[in-house]
Structure 1
Amino acid sequence: MDIFHQKESKVRSYSNHFPVVFASAKGSWLKTDDGNKYLDFLSGAGALNYGHNNDVFKQALLAYIERDGLTHGLDLYSQAKADFLSALSKYILDPRALNYKVQFTGPTGTNAVEAAMKLARKVTGRTNIIAFTNGFHGCSAGALAATGNQHHRGGAGMDLSGITRMPYENYAGVDSLTLFETMLNDSSSGMDKPAAVLLEVVQGEGGLNAASNEWLQRLRKICTAHGVLMIVDDIQAGCGRTGTFFSFEPAGIEPDLVTLSKSIGGYGLPMAIVLLKPELDQWLPGEHNGTFRGNNHAFITATKALETYWADNTFEQHIHRRSEQVSHMLNQILVLYPNLFIQVKGRGLMQGIACKNGEIASAISDGCFKGGMIIETAGPDDEVVKFFCPLTITEDELAQGLDIFAGVVAGVSAKITKKAS
């Protein structure tokens, strides 16, 4: 461990919570260098929806490397890219009647968000963008301006501008869309007409706040009526995490732009894209670029992910069953321990339970780690215990993780009760 403390920057975070050295991983499990195993309910913060070292992806990648397939190619044409674009159209876009062009950005989610915001401003000629309370969109300057979390914003070292913040659905009891529409119609509201609205359908880092279908549909209508583009940040909530490939599908809306990263690459390899309506594709060549906007290894595993898991609805049904398994346990826990918890939050396998404070959530996360499971917290005060297991997890593995959680909760509750008495 000494080498990390001597040489790695203090900016690291996850390793502070889980201070062991991991040596291997498979499926839903992580293994340390001394052989201890941990159930993974973190999944690379959503980058490992298909689990660790998925055999189908691994074999395809190894075969591609063995035949000296292109590794790096900027944005040159490659067979790996062509295969990914074909698979994306065949298995995802065409069945959903979505007509999007695909922009390959630098391989991080924040870069995809930057590209989407830049394009919205370029196309509309307007600079203001609406973002929502508790939203998280990345830590580069433009995306950070749209991010609500003060801890992350405090690291900017500069003023963050170009954003008007609006309340998310159910924030402090405010009817946010009536407020938004009224301000758009009022020439004295002081809000510059926005180029776009940027939102997460389920707010990952912000505490698993989930927008209702009705709220999303109304927001879509407002944006359309006023010529404001809608950008859905599906970086964490996409690729099946909420139960459907895109988080916005149940609402029946069609965003103007969609950002994807994390699990779009399938294997955990860096990859990010922006989906954009064809009429918005007004970029000049190279106007938004990046040296690593062509990760061909990720194209290989991304294609396999789409072919393997999204050719029919079998995988969605599996996610639905595992989601119900989580919901059932969390709702039981909510009733059993009113001294600890407030509500169950989220959707699909992007669920969590809000604790009465961050100390309780931290104690539960720490206890789960000691019991052989990695699980993180979210929310403005890290008060939400966040269940983020791989979507491929088995019923038995999920039950094992939920049992660890339930046992820790019982212990935390007993300690708090004893302390209070």
Structure 2
Amino acid sequence: MFRSLRERNYRLYASGQVVSLTGTWMQRAAQDWLVLELSGGSPAALGVAVALQFLPTLALTLWAGVFADRFDKRMILIITQSALGLCGFALGALDVTGIVVLWQVYVLCFVLGCFSAVDAPVRQSFVVEMVGPAQLTNAVALNSMTFNLARIVGPAIAGVAITAIGTGWVFLFNGLSSVAVVAGLLLMDTALLHRADTVDRERGQLRAGLRYVRRRPDLVVVMVLVFSVSTFGMNFESTLAVIARNVFQRDADGYGLLITMLAVGTLTGATLAARRSAKPGSRLRLMLIGAGVFGALEALAGVMPHYWLFATALVPVGIAMMTFTTSANSTVQLAVEPTMRGRVMGLYMMLFLGGRPLGGLTAGWLAEVFGPRWPVVLGGLISLTAAVAGAVVLSRQRKRGLIQPLG
């Protein structure tokens, strides 16, 4: 199950990510709670914060994919990870000194989003360089395990820490945690990297990447599905804090527990994906099933009447969500030419993250007007509908001989 960890460079990367991502999830929980405190519990204010953090993805992620194909991915990641750590230090300093106000949080959300928009596609396309194509699916699954282990530990620690010492110290810890992943990148043996040929600078490289995807109807369907599920179904940053505080009258530790329960499910889903990576089978079919089941389970969770029923329902939601995301990621990466991988993953990450501003604002508006449960219920139904529509379109295209299965 852990075959990709045989690669020294990937071991360094994964160990640094455990520490850094724990800090990242601590900051996310603390940031959501700080925004609610500064805004008097406004769901719309939290939606604005989420939108600002993901808005730069629309402008920068596609170009980041071009940079990933053109430049040294490891060096780009060293710069972006260092900058993300500095954002944590800045917000922590403002909070600890007691001078933080809501507009400052908004500004730092936007700055953080800018560096994250560049970091995401480069980081995704760098995985194959650390482990090679044969171990990519396993490495993607292990990345998800690392991500969701941090998603369990981070919010749980943050919930206790916010109550005990305040949100500011959580932000400072996140800034410090970025040192781990930067150190791992610096210690890598570059001779062991499975680097693809870099693309020389020339005009029209971004358009060439978009044309490449447009000519692949199978990739188009995957991209549309990823956008639909991520934008409307995976808005947990905008919904869980509001549901914990405004529906179930819970404090920060209650919110942290909801994130932890979701993360238990996503970690389980990532573990199952790592086990499946050595077995033959259709990743595309698994992606469609994962998206449909995720949507149905999320809609069901949204109507749970009691806190513990809602929290428990988040576990299977997390399993289905991770089944969808890991299969979608590996499906796209293994289906494209190496010289196009950065640009295609730039588009993938733009659709995966770039819809969050729309989703965050929509979720905030729905929660404000109709109640906090509605973003969860409608998000699940939209995800289910998108999965069914995607399956129908792919089936028709395959019958007409327009596409070949992605695998």
Higher helix share: 2
Tell me which interval the TM-score lies in, with the shorter structure as reference length. under 0.3
If asked which structure has higher relative contact order (CA below 8 Å, sep 6+), I would say 2
Higher strand share: 1
TM-score normalised over the length of structure 2: 0.27
Larger radius of gyration: 1
